[in-house]
Chain A
Amino acid sequence: MRIGDAKQSYEADEAIWTTSTQKLWFGLFLLILLVFPFMADSYLLYLGCLVGIAVISTTGLNILTGFTGLISLGQAGFMGVGAYTVAWLSVNTGLPFPITLVLAGLMAAAVGILVGLPSLRVKGLYLAIATLAAGVFLHFIFAEWESVTGGMGGLSLEPAHLFGLSFQSDFMMYFIIVPLAVLMVLAAANVFRTRIGRAFIAIRDRDISAEILGIDLLRYKLMSFALSSFYAGVAGGLFAYFYRVVTPESFPLSMSIFYLAAVIVGGMGNLLGGILGAAFMTLVPEALKLLTAALTPFYPNAPVFMSPMLEIIFGALIVGFLIFEPHGLAEMWHRIRRFFRLWPFKN
């Protein structure tokens, strides 16, 4: 039983892993991630890659919405910018994927800064509508700027490549997506140990107080938008290499809502929440299908009546979380940790 950690320096207080148990668990988690692709079939590998992309994008949105308090409904648009940047660069220049991914992130960040400009004047729902408008505008550009984006037909691209290796299969893509997801989440965790991250949190908690403390609101809000969009751009770039086709319809408004829901269900302002939320939103609809599979031997027509039911159950699960666990899955995880930490005493 461990009942507390004595922290005797600022460094110890700000450390990502405060105990050796945490380090052990994280090491074990990395080992599982490493072994997973060698054990999983193509279906599980595909879902693993999908979760990896969702984790990157959700972490980006969490930086903006969860940590800075700026609601955005433009995440799909920023992902689209990243995806089209990668697709265009891949088709027209043949650059290797590390460069195209960084450029995708930077391009999305630049667009994010532009979209973030109104954030000094408008907040809450107003900002949500402003970012929604940006998403619609970006969709219009994807559809109409035919010479660059291929119009409604979109762009097809070659597999990601590096040093003569072609990352064509899900197995190979896993080794791009998942390490990048781990690195980007760790990078985000580090951001919140710096002045910049603390400024984001200060703005979220009370922007007027933050300004009085000397935080340049516009600068830090735009920085948050840039960082969040960078993550979305990289996620979009990975999306492009993963599916190898990008069309305007790949990035609908519902995708932005999906990521916002992932942040809320996971736990706003909590990086672990972003990871859990992304996994939940991606995997639960698939897991629910097991119900149908279990019923099909007894009722051959089960898919027909169960499929709409599953959509309802999934919606109800999300609503249930908002009502009964407003701090999201991360809070559930923390409660479980507290239980084991204090066991056998009452939590």
Chain B
Amino acid sequence: MFRNILNKGRRLAGLGSLVAALTVATPAMAQDKEPIVFGGSIPLSGVFAFAGIHIHAGLTDYTDWINSEGGINGHPVKYVMEDTAYEVDRSVAAFKKISGSESPATYYGDSTGFMKAIASELNSQGDTLMSGASFATALTDNEQYPYQFIPGPNYSQMFGIILEYIADQGKDGDMPTVAFVYSDTEFGKDPIENGKARAAELGIEVVEDIVTKPGSVDVSAEVLKLRRVRPDFVVFHGYVLSPINEFMVQMRQMGLDTQFMGTFWSSDKLIIDKMGADADGYMGVMPYNYYDSEESGPMLDALRAQAEKSDPEADYRPTGYMQAWFNAMVWTEVIKRTLDADKELTGENMAAALASIEDWDTGGIIGIPVTVRDMSFPVGRIWRVNAEKGRYEPVSDWIHLD
């Protein structure tokens, strides 16, 4: 009993110290500039949680890092998020809750569905700039989504970069052939029409296009179709892993020397981890340097240092982390430009600041200076899996679409 009382006393003393510390600290905090809020609808559970937890880590680490650098023009940054389970209604609820209590200047959206659903609210509120996990082509329609941007190339632009790379592989006027394999989702179908049009412009023949369920595993019938047309390249889109692995393994077993490529969310290290040696040679388009690439730069080094500091045991940070960090970097740049111009942090002013970004040095996150075009960063590079080293290595220069 005595020990019980003692324990309770200790807890009370601890609580008292915390209250006292907060009381002392409050006047000091009150003297600081108003915090700038980064909001986020983050899928920490549900089907997109594999990326969501790294996105959350990226945004948390960036916030800690920027605050350690003095914040944005002296304003501390506060990151406020809610889990959405990758469901649009919960994502909208999170946005309403956060925007009602915190007035976020910028916000991370977890899906195309959410970003479309919230657009009318965002446009009428006019005080938040949004980007997020989506690279949907539709979101670069500035008339409909004036306060949303893509933190990289949109899916159509990713196809453009891939097709430019494929066109470069043509020798003596003999252009390679390509097949598109994509999921039966809005995500999967997004770039296909534009991709076909771009292929036609470059003189690349699209010999087959195949739609599958996302995550499907039995693709033997589709593989037979590809065997008949023997494409030089297969471009996957709208998947995370399956059925990319199935296609690759089965087509290689048939002796085809097709090369396989994928877009952003299909170009994570997850493919190497799951496929092992079978992943060798797989190529992905990536707008940022990989965490374990040989590239460097002041911001990329800061990212690595912060990641090491926040979780010393994790020796790798996936693409979701890099994407989240870059999102927050762009938000910071936009807010900084808006404040420097002595303007209020409204959606309109921040969108204008975003549009003004030209030849911006990202400190090694992206290997070349970047320019915003139609609320996106149309830049990327083709990376190839070196299964032996267990990582992606660049096989093209940085490609900036005009």
Contacts and interface: CB of A to CB of B under 8 A. Distances in A.
Contact of A249 (B92, B93, B186): B186
B189 A310 contact: no
Contacts of A247: 113, 116, 186
Nearest to A244: B120
Interface string B100-139: 1100000000000100110110001000000000000010
A289 B82 contact: yes
Given A50-B89, A168-B124, A249-B113, A43 B83 contact: no
B96 A42 contact: yes
Contacts of A96: none
Contact of A311 (B45, B93, B101): B45
Given A154-B186, A245-B116, 7 more contacts: A42-B100, A143-B184, A244-B117, A249-B113, A250-B113, A292-B83, A307-B85
B85 A311 contact: yes
A285 B90 contact: yes
A323 interface: no
A46 interface: yes
A289 B45 CA distance: 12
Q: Which 6 A/B pairs are nearest by Cβ-Cβ distance?
A: A307-B44, A307-B83, A152-B186, A43-B97, A43-B96, A307-B45
A170 B95 CA distance: 13
Contacts of B216: none
A168 B93 contact: no
B19 to A, nearest CB: 12
A233 B100 CA distance: 31
Contact of A47 (B49, B53, B81, B93): B93
A308 B49 CA distance: 9
Contacts of B120: 159, 168, 244
Interface in B27-69: 42, 44-46, 49, 53, 56
Interface in A1-56: 41-43, 45-47, 50
A230 to B, nearest CB: 23
Contacts, number: 80
20 contacts: A42-B96, A43-B100, A46-B93, A46-B96, A143-B184, A151-B189, A153-B186, A154-B116, A156-B116, A159-B120, A244-B117, A247-B113, A248-B186, A285-B85, A285-B90, A303-B42, A303-B56, A304-B53, A304-B56, A308-B49
A199 B237 CA distance: 52
Interface residues of A, number: 34
Given A168-B120, A250-B113, A304-B56, A43 B186 contact: no
A261 B326 CA distance: 40
Size class of the contact patch on chain B: 20 to 34
Given A42-B99, A168-B120, A311-B85, A303 B186 contact: no
Interface in A223-249: 243-245, 247-249
A289 B83 contact: yes
B156 to A, nearest CB: 13
Contacts of A308: 44-45, 49
A310 B83 contact: yes
Contacts of A169: 124
A286 interface: yes
A292 B93 CA distance: 16
B185 interface: yes
Contact of B117 (A243, A286, A289): A243
B142 interface: no
A244 B120 CA distance: 8
B185 A249 contact: yes
Interface string B181-192: 000111001100
B148 to A, nearest CB: 13
Interface in A112-144: 143
A289 B98 CA distance: 13
Best-surrounded residue of A47, A303, A311 (most CB of chain B within 10 A): A303
B144 interface: yes
Contacts of A286: 90, 93
Interface string A288-327: 0100100000000001100110110000000000000000
